[in-house]
């Protein structure tokens, strides 16, 4: 169907248009006809303020006159507030996508948890018609903590919200844009022998547990194993001290340390690496690991979080504790040295191809 300006049927809202949030929205928009949708975004800065205040800004950006039939947003948007400010949007089919949830997001000190973030997400779910989660772990961790979160109130504690929200929920895994990755990959074959090349492509924050990764690398070094590492991912002004220690202690093993601005360079690093490691204590999906797996890396991931449903049935290199992580990496070092490092996990990334994903999303929007 050909649309003309002013005939938009879908309203797409993303208050945090960056990273994985941006990739998801871009995939949706790239597959929709021109003029079939309106996209309203805010920059990916000051996440906490976006979660607190974006509804007011968005409310004045949505056209007063429109023919929208559906609204798609992510959970950063306080949807209930937006509907209060713009009651004309109440009649739309309201679809919310959860990349993460604040009921199960780890904090360093429990008193730092802002009750309102999680409460807003509960209100968003009550206001929505369809609630999508990027993994079963994300969905279940959210639903299981609704009652305990509401019990934090001193009085007037609402009950049975879980039973109202759960029927609206379903899992739609995060899409992997394989076409966008393929254009940056070369036909160069990885080195069959030599030092094991390890990549760690995560945000430089405490919930990715970089201390465990650093201790394990030091133990490998002390035991005489030879390896190379690239520390990727976005860093922030308040980053864990351990990254300075990695730069000093493992200087000779470091191939790259820091965020890679150029997308082509980033995917080439993943393609050249042998192993992708996660030590996360929090992961609702793990797109960075999945991209590395698609690029040919062996996933060495903890036997917890979303990794269980994504890799648990087929990946042998999952671990339960720090000692097992060391044993697996030391074994992989030996295998690489002997030219016996098999890479056979790329197929695990294929079910997440964005073309299949969009068909599922489109059916929900058109429902």
227-264 pLDDT tens trace: 999 999 776 656 667 767 777 777 888 899 888 989 99
Q: Which CATH number is 76's domain given?
A: 3.40.50
Q: What is the pLDDT of residue 331?
A: 97
Are residues 29 and 121 located together in one domain of the fold?
yes
Q: What is the pLDDT of residue 104?
A: 87
Provide the residue range defining the domain that includes 202. Answer: 179-351
Are residues 148 and 187 located together in one domain of the fold?
no
Which comes out higher in pLDDT, residue 253 or 168? 168
**Per-residue confidence band for 77, with pLDDT thresholds at 50, 70 and 90:** very high
Percent of the chain clearing pLDDT 90 (strictly above): 72
- Residue 58 above 60 pLDDT? yes
Average pLDDT in the 154-173 region?
Answer: 95
55 within domain boundaries: yes
Measured N-to-C along each axis, helices 210-222 and 242-249 cross at an angle, to the nearest 10 degrees, of 20
Are residues 200 and 232 located together in one domain of the fold?
yes
Average pLDDT, the chain: 91
307-361 pLDDT tens trace: 999 999 899 999 999 999 999 999 999 999 999 998 789 999 999 999 888 888 8
365 within domain boundaries: no
Q: Provide the number of structural domains found in the chain.
A: 2
The two tokens of residue 349 are 């990334």
Of the candidates 332, 342, 323, 339, which has an alpha carbon nearest to the alpha carbon of residue 226?
Answer: 332
Q: What is the pLDDT of residue 239?
A: 64
Contact, 98 vs 137, CB < 8 A? no
Are residues 161 and 282 located together in one domain of the fold?
no
**Per-residue confidence band for 205, with pLDDT thresholds at 50, 70 and 90:** confident
94-113 burial, b at 16+ Cβ within 10 Å, e below that, comes to: bbbbbbbbbbbeeeeeeeeb
210 within domain boundaries: yes
Are residues 197 and 105 located together in one domain of the fold?
no
The two tokens of residue 293 are 């797996």
CB neighbour class for 23 (10 Å; exposed up to 12, middle 13-18, buried from 19):
middle
Cα dihedral sign, 239-245-248-254: negative
């Amino acid at each position: 169907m050909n649309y003309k300006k002013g005939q938009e049927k879908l309203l797409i809202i993303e208050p945090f248009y960056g990273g994985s949030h941006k990739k998801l929205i871009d995939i949706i928009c790239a597959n929709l006809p021109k003029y079939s949708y309106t996209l309203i975004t805010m920059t990916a800065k000051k996440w906490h303020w976006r979660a607190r205040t974006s509804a007011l800004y968005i409310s004045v950006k949505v056209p007063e006159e429109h023919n929208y039939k559906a609204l798609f947003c992510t959970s950063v948007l306080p949807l209930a507030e937006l509907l209060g400010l713009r009651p004309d949007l109440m009649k739309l089919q309201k679809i919310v996508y959860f990349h993460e949830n604040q009921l199960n997001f780890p904090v360093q000190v429990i008193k730092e948890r802002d009750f309102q973030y999680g409460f807003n997400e509960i209100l968003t779910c009550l206001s929505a018609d369809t609630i999508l989660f990027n993994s079963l772990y994300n969905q279940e961790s959210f639903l299981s903590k609704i009652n305990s979160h509401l019990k934090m109130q001193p009085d007037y504690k609402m009950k049975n919200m879980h039973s109202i929200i759960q029927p609206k929920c379903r899992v739609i895994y995060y899409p992997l844009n394989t076409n966008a990755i393929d254009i940056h990959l070369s036909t160069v074959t990885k080195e069959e022998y030599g030092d094991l090349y390890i990549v760690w492509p995560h945000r430089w924050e405490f919930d990715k547990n970089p201390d465990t990764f650093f201790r394990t690398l030091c133990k490998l070094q002390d035991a005489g194993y030879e390896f190379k590492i690239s520390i990727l991912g976005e860093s922030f002004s308040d980053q864990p001290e351990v990254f300075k220690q990695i730069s000093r202690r493992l200087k000779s093993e470091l191939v790259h340390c820091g965020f890679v601005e150029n997308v082509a360079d980033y995917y080439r690093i993943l393609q050249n690496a042998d192993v992708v490691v996660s030590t996360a204590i929090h992961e609702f999906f793990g797109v960075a690991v999945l991209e590395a797996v698609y690029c040919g890396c062996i996933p060495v991931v903890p036997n917890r979080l979303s990794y269980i449903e994504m890799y648990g049935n087929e990946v042998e290199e999952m671990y339960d504790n720090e000692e097992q992580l060391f044993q697996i990496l030391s074994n992989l070092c030996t295998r690489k040295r002997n030219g016996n490092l098999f890479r056979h996990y790329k197929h695990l990334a294929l079910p997440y191809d964005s073309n299949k994903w969009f068909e599922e999303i489109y059916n929900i929007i058109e429902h």
